[in-house]
């Protein structure tokens, strides 16, 4: 079978991270916006539904949305928002709620209530907002409303979640004097801050990042026509399928100059023995199946959503792979170190947990049943094992609805031998 025979054009959903940022900026804008290639999935729908509850005139058609903007921040209406399992959505909306005159309660499902929010809650209090947790402090549910005045400077711990900082950045144009943010500690997922800057600028905001300092100028967002990039995190799965099984695929519409840092996952696969190049229709990845995959050592602090994907790819390499820099992913949808390692060991994988990551060594693999721990990224990564191991069973596979509802049907297509 030739390279051309096995080549596939793979379409992945729009970026969930970019979609939620664009929806926030559009809701706060002073005029209408049209967003195309909006991400599917539960997280985006939770954001969509919550903005409607807040009174934003927003309509969705196919993969796009029209947002009239002009969120009424002076409304005294008491609002309750249900963000289900969407961590990013809950954090961004908590920040938006701090701009409102009326009280807003943000809540989610049981597992979301366990995820840490104290960094964001404390920052909003410092800036001047009223933030009251009705359960465990630093967790949902939380009731938020505008305070008497806004501070224009803050220092924030950046070692836990970039989402806290992104949330503050996106509401900062609404502050009378803007906002200066000092990032303290090792910044995790810095690429997501760059993404936030890029989206904010598309909607007219003036913002800069220099080292560990962020500056956001005051001024209204402006409506925009905005197209969401293909999701680079989702692109990791069809790319990994090529790395594991060999052959070739093109990730349609994705470019190397994407605002998403997860596009660098392709460089990781390149270092393991794949060939990656930009072509007219997207990014092409190829591996000759007669050439073995090589293990690597890689700091994934900037591309941490791809850790489960790489852990599975590493199971099929001919030498150990060490993933570092990602200790903070223990508080994602699941514990993406311990839960991931525990499930992959069911296949016979040899995995050692480190303080800040994992080491995966070659070992014979066999059939197993695994659970997803309510984590869409674990479910999608586990499916890749089935490319080389028979009788892989994934319990509660429907968790993929968080970001890629049609994943398993699409997986069957992009892994089918032509």
pLDDT tens-place string over residues 223-273: 999 999 999 999 999 999 999 999 999 999 999 999 999 999 999 999 999
Whether 246 and 364 map to the same domain: the answer is: yes
Q: Does residue 149 sit in the same domain as residue 238?
A: no
Q: Tell me the sheet residues that pair with 322.
A: 297, 359
Residue 202 placed within a domain: yes
Beta bridge partners of 31: none
Among residues 154, 187, 217, which one ends one of the domains? 217
pLDDT reported for residue 7: 57
The reply to whether 211 and 142 lie within a common domain is yes
The token pair at 397 is 């596979």
Domains in the chain, number: 2
Q: Are residues 300 and 212 in the same domain?
A: no
Q: How confident is the model at residue 2 (pLDDT cuts 50, 70, 90)?
A: very low
Q: Are residues 339 and 369 in the same domain?
A: yes
Q: Does the residue 266 lie in any domain?
A: yes
Q: What pLDDT was estimated at residue 6?
A: 43
The CATH code of the domain that includes 305 is 3.65.10.10
Range of the domain at 316: 3-11+231-414
Residue 130 to residues 37, 80, 95, 99, Cα–Cα distance (Å): 36, 16, 11, 10
Asked whether residue 125 is assigned to any structural domain, the reply reads yes
| Residue 122 annotated in active site | no
pLDDT (average), residues 135-161: 94
Domain identity same for 206 and 248: no
Q: Is residue 20 part of a domain?
A: no
Nearest to 199 by CA among 12, 23, 404: 23
Residues 257 and 205 in one domain: no
User: Which residue, of 191, 217, 243, is where some domain finishes?
Assistant: 217
Distances (CA, A) of 276 to 8, 63, 280, 290: 14, 29, 13, 17
pTM of the model: 0.94
Q: Each residue of 349-365: pLDDT tens digit? A: 999 999 999 999 999 99
Same domain, 303 and 239: yes
pLDDT at residue 199, rounded to an integer: 98
Q: How confident is the model at residue 219 (pLDDT cuts 50, 70, 90)?
A: very high
**Does a structural domain hold residue 55?**
no
How confident is the model over 84-108, as pLDDT tens digits?
999 999 999 999 999 999 999 999 9
Predicted pLDDT at 161 = 86
Do both 211 and 323 map to the same domain? no
Residue 113 lies in a domain: yes
**Among 42, 107, 262, 305, the one annotated catalytic:** 305
For residue 66, being part of any structural domain is answered with no
Overall average pLDDT of the 188-199 stretch: 94
φ, ψ for residue 145, nearest 5 deg: -155, 165
Q: Are residues 304 and 189 in the same domain?
A: no
In angstroms, the CA 298 to CA 376 distance is 23
Is 3's pLDDT higher than 70? no
386 and 281 in a single domain? The answer is yes
Give percent of the chain above pLDDT 70.
98
Cα separation values, 413 from 39, 191, 408, Å: 20, 31, 9
Same domain, 96 and 191: yes
CB 26 within 8 A of CB 223: yes
Instruction: Mark which of 217, 247, 267 sits at the end of a domain.
Output: 217
- The mean per-residue pLDDT over the stretch 25-45 comes to 96
Length of the chain: 418
Assigned domain for 16 exists: no
């Amino acid at each position: 079978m030739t390279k051309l025979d096995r080549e596939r054009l793979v379409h992945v959903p729009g970026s969930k991270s970019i979609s939620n940022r664009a929806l926030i900026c559009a809701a706060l804008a002073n005029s209408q916006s049209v967003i195309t290639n909006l991400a599917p999935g539960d997280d985006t729908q939770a954001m969509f539904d919550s903005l409607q509850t807040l009174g934003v005139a927003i309509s969705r058609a196919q993969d796009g949305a029209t947002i009239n903007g002009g969120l009424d921040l002076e409304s005294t209406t008491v609002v309750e928002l249900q963000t289900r399992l969407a961590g990013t959505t809950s954090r961004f909306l908590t920040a938006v709620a701090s701009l409102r005159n009326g009280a807003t309660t943000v809540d989610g499902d049981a597992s979301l209530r366990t995820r840490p929010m104290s960094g964001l809650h404390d920052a909003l209090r410092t800036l001047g907002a009223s933030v009251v947790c009705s359960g465990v402090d630093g967790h949902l549910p939380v009731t938020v409303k505008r305070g008497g005045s806004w501070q224009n400077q803050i220092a924030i711990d950046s070692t836990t979640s970039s989402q806290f900082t992104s949330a503050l950045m996106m509401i900062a144009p609404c502050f009378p004097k803007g906002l200066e943010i000092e990032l303290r500690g090792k910044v995790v997922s810095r690429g997501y801050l760059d993404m936030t800057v890029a989206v904010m600028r598309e909607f007219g905001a003036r913002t800069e990042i220099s080292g560990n300092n962020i500056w956001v100028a005051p001024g209204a967002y402006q409506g925009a026509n905005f197209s969401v990039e293909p999701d680079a995190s989702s692109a990791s799965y069809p790319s990994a399928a090529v790395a594991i099984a060999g052959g070739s695929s093109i990730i349609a519409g994705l470019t190397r100059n994407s605002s998403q840092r997860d596009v660098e996952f392709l460089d990781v696969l390149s270092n393991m023995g794949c060939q990656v190049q930009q072509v007219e229709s997207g990014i092409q990845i190829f591996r000759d199946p007669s050439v073995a995959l090589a293990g690597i050592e890689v700091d994934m602090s900037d591309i941490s959503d791809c850790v489960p994907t790489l852990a599975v790819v590493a199971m099929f390499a001919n030498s150990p792979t060490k993933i570092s820099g990602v200790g903070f992913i223990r508080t994602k949808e699941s514990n993406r170190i311990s839960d991931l390692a525990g499930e992959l060991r069911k296949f016979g994988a040899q995995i050692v947990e480190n303080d800040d990551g994992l080491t995966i060594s070659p070992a014979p693999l066999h059939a197993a049943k695994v659970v997803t721990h309510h984590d869409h990224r674990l479910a999608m990564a586990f499916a890749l094992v089935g490319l080389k191991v028979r009788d892989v069973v994934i319990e509660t596979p429907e968790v993929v609805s968080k970001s890629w509802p049609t994943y398993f049907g699409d997986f069957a297509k992009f892994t089918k031998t032509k």
